[in-house]
């Protein structure tokens, strides 16, 4: 980011970069638009309908200011007092050509819960990207959905031309803040892994205000994962960024006071997509999985720019989490796979244990899809992986059949051994048809061909025909680890495709009863989205500060 363009909110150690991009209209912009339109006209079939712009994937273009006194069926327990928030892709402008589900502008949907009453709000994250497209009145930034074949190469050049000729101001990055949310050091952060975090404030009435971009006093010069880990015992946040240029992986530690420590580059052979990682009490776990950034194959073989190589093994690097360099990292090999999301990790004697959702032969083109009658599903399965720090050997154990992803735990146990995992049952790749509870102390039943209660599956909450949900967040009845680990609630979004209505459901996490504890009706349709979190009952009671459960 150019130094002269930086202005900050807040004092030392708490600075947030004000995002004020300076795009330029004029003849240069019009000429580039004309050339791009010719490329699209002759190389892209604009009559095709995008699956992830249809049905309940379709965006809700307008923001919703706080809507109070929503209809609540049942009761909202006191431990839910706070703001339940979920982010997801919601493009404000229609794409010029291709569209991938990861392409939409970040919109946050919030439910303010207070004393049994509920208020709904939705706001775009005010990124540099969305501000500039509002200035032009249409889509100007390149899409992941464009990055396929020769067409993709040409669209990359259009993006580079707009940046080089100052039509677009890329000094603040090009991210969408659409993938995940985390709370740390008094800030709610909206994340996308190709950019820096955006900081937001939760107001007393539940409304959401984008404050700006967080660059940790100019110490963050690389991208920031969408899945950082906050240690509930120390208050520190652990994160990384990946890049298509060296260093391909960079690890960072951020103190509980929001101070970012020096970068730790991690050496791997090729640029990859690394969507998640994990921490234990003493280690950080990195995943060198063979989903490679390969622009040459994109052009030659008409593929997306990220290509999975089924001939390569998967590598997992275990590094002491306060290491100053990578010299102490231990690498372990396991059979070929890819992982989008981990549940948790911990240490047992000489072993580091990772609980994760593993899949084989992923094809990101499947979420770049055009409308089809039925999309093929990913084969995500829950796995336990073990890395022996003494012998250097690794092993893995299958804990479920497919398809399970978006695993969550009681986050009071992050980095420590825990028993229960709450996953989502996937239908048609990313539609959630149910919530499933696993007991890691029980053995999985053999011979299973579908997910059902028995063995290590303690319960399934089936959403019913034509009803699909979101990732479920566990909220403990009592914060901390003094009460039973599963004593609490699961809260998640549900959309009924039969009626077109959306709601938020609360269920008992211990019993997984089919009867919800509460159902809060939304004032309008809420599109399918990505991860959620809950800001607890202290959300706005202390000078606007919020605390994550």
Confidence of residue 371 (pLDDT cuts 50, 70, 90): very low
Higher pLDDT, 363 or 302: 302
Confidence of residue 15 (pLDDT cuts 50, 70, 90): confident
364 pLDDT more than 80: no
541 pLDDT more than 70: no
Q: What is the pLDDT of residue 537?
A: 40
- Give the Cα-Cα-Cα angle 18, 88, 345 (nearest 5 degrees): 95
Burial of 63 (0-12, 13-18, 19+ CB in 10 A): middle
Which of 42, 40, 6 lies closest to 21 in space, CA to CA? Answer: 6
Confidence of residue 261 (pLDDT cuts 50, 70, 90): very high
Q: Where are the alpha helices (DSSP H) in 127-207?
A: 128-136, 149-164
Higher pLDDT, 492 or 376: 492
How large a percentage of the chain has pLDDT more than 90? 82
User: Helix axis angle, 27-43 relative to 149-164, nearest 10°?
Assistant: 180
pLDDT tens readout for residues 294-326: 998 889 888 888 889 999 999 999 999 999 999
Q: What is the pLDDT of residue 538?
A: 41
pLDDT tens readout for residues 17-43: 999 999 999 999 999 999 999 999 999
Provide the token pair at 455.
């063995």
pLDDT tens readout for residues 205-220: 999 999 999 999 999 9
375 pLDDT more than 60: no
In Å, what is the CA distance from 373 to each residue of 50, 102, 305, 369, 427? Answer: 12, 21, 26, 11, 13
Q: What is the pLDDT of residue 376?
A: 60
Confidence of residue 547 (pLDDT cuts 50, 70, 90): very low
**Coil, strand or helix: which one is 161?**
helix
Which of 527, 536, 545, 535 lies closest to 106 in space, CA to CA? Answer: 527
Rounded Cα gap, residues 323 and 329, in angstroms: 9
Q: What is the pLDDT of residue 342?
A: 98
Q: What is the pLDDT of residue 181?
A: 96
Higher pLDDT, 447 or 357: 357
Which of 10, 1, 8 lies closest to 544 in space, CA to CA? Answer: 10
Phi first, then psi, for residue 378 (nearest 5°) are: -75, 155
Q: What is the pLDDT of residue 68?
A: 97
195-204, 237-246, 540-549 — which is least confidently predicted?
540-549
409 within 8 A of 343, measured Cβ to Cβ: yes
373 pLDDT more than 60: no
Other Cβ atoms closer than 10 A to 293? 18
3-state SS record for 102-121: HHCCEEEEEEEEECCEEEEE
pLDDT tens readout for residues 40-99: 999 998 888 888 899 999 999 999 999 999 999 999 999 999 999 999 999 999 999 999
80-94, 167-181, 416-430 — which is least confidently predicted?
416-430
pLDDT mean over 434-445:
97
Q: What is the pLDDT of residue 395?
A: 98
Confidence of residue 503 (pLDDT cuts 50, 70, 90): very high
Confidence of residue 536 (pLDDT cuts 50, 70, 90): low
201 pLDDT more than 90: yes
Q: What is the pLDDT of residue 484?
A: 97
Q: What is the pLDDT of residue 369?
A: 55
pLDDT mean over 476-496:
96
545 pLDDT more than 50: no
Rounded Cα gap, residues 16 and 6, in angstroms: 10
pLDDT tens readout for residues 139-162: 999 999 999 899 999 999 999 999
Contacts of 329 (CB under 8 A, 6+ apart): 266, 286, 317, 318, 319, 323
Give 383-386 contacts, CB < 8 A, sequence gap 24+.
383/355, 383/356, 383/357, 383/358, 384/353, 384/354, 384/355, 384/440, 385/316, 385/334, 385/353, 385/354, 385/355, 385/356, 386/351, 386/352, 386/353, 386/354
Sole residue written with tokens 């497919």? 402
How large a percentage of the chain has pLDDT more than 70? 92
Provide the token pair at 211.
């404050």
Other Cβ atoms closer than 10 A to 22? 13
Q: Which residues pair with 467 in a beta bridge?
A: 496
Q: What is the pLDDT of residue 366?
A: 67
pLDDT mean over 273-291:
97
- Give the Cα-Cα-Cα angle 257, 260, 265 (nearest 5 degrees): 150
pTM: 0.94
């Amino acid at each position: 980011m150019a130094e002269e363009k930086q202005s900050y909110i807040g004092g030392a150690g708490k600075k947030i970069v004000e995002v004020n991009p300076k795009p330029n209209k004029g003849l240069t912009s019009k000429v580039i638009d004309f050339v791009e339109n010719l490329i699209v006209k002759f190389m892209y079939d604009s009559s095709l309908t995008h699956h992830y712009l249809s049905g309940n994937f379709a965006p809700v273009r307008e923001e919703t200011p706080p809507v109070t006194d929503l209809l609540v069926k049942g009761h909202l327990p006191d431990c839910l007092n706070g703001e339940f928030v979920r982010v997801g892709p919601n493009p404000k402008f229609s794409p010029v050509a291709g569209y991938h589900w990861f392409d939409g502008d970040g919109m946050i949907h919030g439910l303010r819960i207070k004393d049994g009453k509920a208020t709904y709000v939705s706001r775009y994250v005010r990124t540099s990207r969305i501000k500039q497209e509002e200035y032009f009145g249409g889509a100007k930034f390149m899409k992941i959905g464009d990055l396929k074949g020769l067409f993709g190469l040409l669209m990359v050049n259009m993006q580079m031309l707009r940046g080089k000729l100052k039509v677009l101001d890329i000094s603040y990055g090009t991210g969408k803040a659409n993938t995940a949310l985390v709370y740390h050091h008094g800030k709610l952060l909206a994340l996308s892994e190709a950019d820096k975090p955006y900081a937001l404030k939760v107001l007393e009435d539940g409304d959401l205000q984008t404050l700006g971009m967080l660059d940790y006093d100019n110490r963050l010069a690389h991208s920031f994962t969408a899945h950082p880990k906050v240690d509930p015992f120390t208050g520190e946040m652990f994160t990384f960024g990946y890049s298509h240029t060296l260093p391909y992986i960079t690890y960072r530690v951020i103190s509980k006071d929001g101070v970012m420590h020096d970068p730790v580059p991690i050496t791997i052979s090729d640029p990859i997509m690394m969507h998640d990682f994990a921490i234990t009490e003493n280690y950080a776990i990195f995943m060198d999985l063979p989903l490679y950034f390969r622009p040459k194959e994109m052009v030659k073989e008409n593929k997306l720019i990220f290509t999975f190589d089924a001939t390569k093994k998967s590598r997992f690097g275990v590094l002491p989490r306060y290491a100053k360099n990578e010299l102490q990292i231990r690498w372990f090999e396991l059979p070929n796979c890819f992982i989008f999301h981990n549940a948790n990790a911990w240490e047992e004697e000489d072993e580091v244990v990772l609980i994760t959702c593993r899949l084989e032969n992923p094809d990101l083109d499947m979420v770049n899809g055009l409308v089809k009658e039925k999309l093929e599903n990913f084969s995500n399965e829950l796995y336990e992986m073990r890395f022996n720090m003494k012998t250097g050997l690794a092993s893995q154990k299958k804990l479920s059949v497919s398809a399970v992803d978006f695993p969550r735990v009681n986050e009071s146990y992050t980095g420590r051994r825990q028993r229960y995992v709450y996953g989502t049952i996937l239908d048609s790749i990313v539609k959630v048809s149910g919530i499933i509870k696993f007991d890691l102390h029980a053995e999985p039943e053999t011979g299973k061909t579908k997910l059902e209660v028995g063995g290590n599956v303690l319960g399934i909450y089936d959403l019913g025909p034509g009803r699909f949900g979101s990732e479920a967040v566990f909220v403990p009845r009592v914060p901390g680890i003094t009460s039973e680990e599963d004593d609490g609630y699961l809260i998640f979004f549900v959309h009924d495709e039969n009626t077109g209505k959306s709601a938020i459901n609360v269920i008992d996490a211990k019993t997984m009863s089919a009867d919800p504890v509460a159902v809060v009706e939304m004032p309008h349709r809420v599109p399918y989205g990505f991860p959620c979190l809950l800001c607890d009952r202290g959300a706005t009671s202390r000078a606007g500060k919020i605390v994550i459960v």
